[in-house]
Structure 1
Amino acid sequence: MGRFLAMLLALVALACSAGAAAEVRMSFHSFNGSVLFGRYPHAFIVLEGTLEETGAPVQENYGFTAKTISTRILSGPVEHAIMTEEEKYLRKTNRHFTVTLTDAQYWRVRAEVAKWRDAPGKYYDLDRRNCIHFVGAMARIAGLKVEYPKDMLRRPKKWLNHVTRLNPQLGARPID
């Protein structure tokens, strides 16, 4: 009986530890960019982990951008796209901070991504609806305080550093 009880307790402990490990983390990234090398500064999110309810793995990233990069971006709204970063580019970005999401928050993030992706017409606007606004919408779902100072709307790294300072509970530091 003692051996059976020990095995049962071990199985219960294993099940509890597996359940505790199920979580989705959302990280907030910026890419410094360079006009000379064809990649502009950019902000995006990375989702990683495991859904608690189903145990399904999550490994995704999303950013909002203009469908075509041209000078038309400077004169008003243009067609938009949701982009994903290749793994080799993820390693070259700035990870500003990470938050843990509930399954419900994860699904709200996914619905918000779809809303931005499926918006009709010309939805990308450099000063009113760019990658920073997209990432800000995701941050709000996670319960973070977000502001959009005018002087940061085209500076993702500076803006994410600002969001870091607005949310001291993250325990994160601005990135130089």
Structure 2
Amino acid sequence: MLWVRKILVQAAALASAVLILPCGPAQAAVELSLYSRELGSQFPHGFVRIEGTLDRGGERIDASYGFTATLVSPAILFGSVRGKVEPVGEGYIRSSDPHFALTLTDSEYDNVMAAVVRWQALRQPSYNLNRRNCVHFVADVAASLGMAAEVPRGMARRPRAFLDSLVRTNRAWLQQRAARILREPSEEREERRGRDPEADGA
């Protein structure tokens, strides 16, 4: 039965092809997103979110980090207070603005986490509204990846303005990295218009 022989030959060929296919894990990727939230029922805030799967070991990552005062009170207006790195809830994330997202290598993920650990280990009182707040934390995470992330004068308390500035300053770097721009920066004149450079921020 010739047709039976042909079917068996085809089946054997298919089985051989399956055996030589790569059997490693699917392509892994970890994505970092940078967020801001403007005034509402709480202070403005900036934070980062990391999601995905590491190449090494296939560990699943889903975490967020922001830096804030342990207790938000009038004391933050007069000097340094205790600070902490804390996760951000899903509801808070949904009501915030993602500015951009990019894929990290495992070593870049390690750099980001090293920055997070440094901030977690700061000597108390670690939070200062003008010199060490959520904006400076996000800037340090960005700098750990090689971005130009100096906090411009007047943006230390303005997470959205800072992240818009970060995108403008690093546009070529982000394009080279195939980052996804999720919020186009507002015009610079909007950032410079007669706002109090010491507007409140987290």
Q: TM-score, normalised by structure 1?
A: 0.89
What is the aligned partner in structure 2 of residue 29 from structure 1? 35
**What secondary structure, in the 3-state scheme, does the structure 2 residue paired with 1:25 have?**
strand
For residues 101-155 of structure 1, give each alpha carbon's deviation from its aligned partner in whole angstroms, at most 9, with x where no partner exists.
1111212221221221121211111111110110011001122111211211111
**What secondary structure, in the 3-state scheme, does the structure 2 residue paired with 1:15 have?**
coil
AA of the residue aligned to 2:39? G
Specify which structure has the higher proportion of helix: 1
8 Å CA contact retained: 2:47, 2:66: yes
What is the aligned partner in structure 1 of residue 170 from structure 2? 167
The CA distance in 2 between the partners of 1:114 and 1:33, in whole Å, is 28
AA of the residue aligned to 1:33? L
Matches within 5 A, 1:6-21: 6-9=17-20, 11-12=21-22, 15=24, 18=26, 20=27
Identity %: 37
8 Å CA contact retained: 2:65, 2:85: yes
What is the aligned partner in structure 1 of residue 16 from structure 2? 5
AA of the residue aligned to 2:125? K
8 Å CA contact retained: 2:111, 2:145: no
Which stretches of structure 1, 4 residues or longer, exceed 6 Å deviation after superposition? none
Q: Shift of the alpha carbon at 1:4?
A: 2.6
The CA distance in 1 between the partners of 2:15 and 2:93, in whole Å, is 48
**What secondary structure, in the 3-state scheme, does the structure 2 residue paired with 1:54 have?**
coil
Q: Shift of the alpha carbon at 1:175?
A: 5.5
Of 154, 157, 161, which aligns to 1:158? Answer: 161
What is the aligned partner in structure 2 of residue 93 from structure 1? 96
Residue correspondences, number = 168
Q: State yes or no: 1:134 paired with 2:137.
A: yes
Q: TM-score, normalised by structure 2?
A: 0.78
The CA distance in 2 between the partners of 1:98 and 1:42, in whole Å, is 17
8 Å CA contact retained: 2:44, 2:159: yes
8 Å CA contact retained: 1:99, 1:142: no
Q: State yes or no: 1:41 paired with 2:44.
A: yes
For residues 44-88 of structure 1, give each alpha carbon's deviation from its aligned partner in whole angstroms, at most 9, with x where no partner exists.
000001000110100000000011101111111110011111111
**Greater CA radius of gyration, 1 or 2?**
2
Q: State yes or no: 1:109 paired with 2:120.
A: no
8 Å CA contact retained: 1:96, 1:175: no
The CA distance in 2 between the partners of 1:143 and 1:120, in whole Å, is 25
Q: Could you list the runs of 5+ residues in structure 1 that have no partner in the other structure? A: none
RMSD, matched Cα: 1.7
Q: Shift of the alpha carbon at 1:6?
A: 1.7
What is the aligned partner in structure 1 of residue 59 from structure 2? 56
8 Å CA contact retained: 2:164, 2:186: yes
**Range that drifts further, 99-108 or 158-167:** 99-108
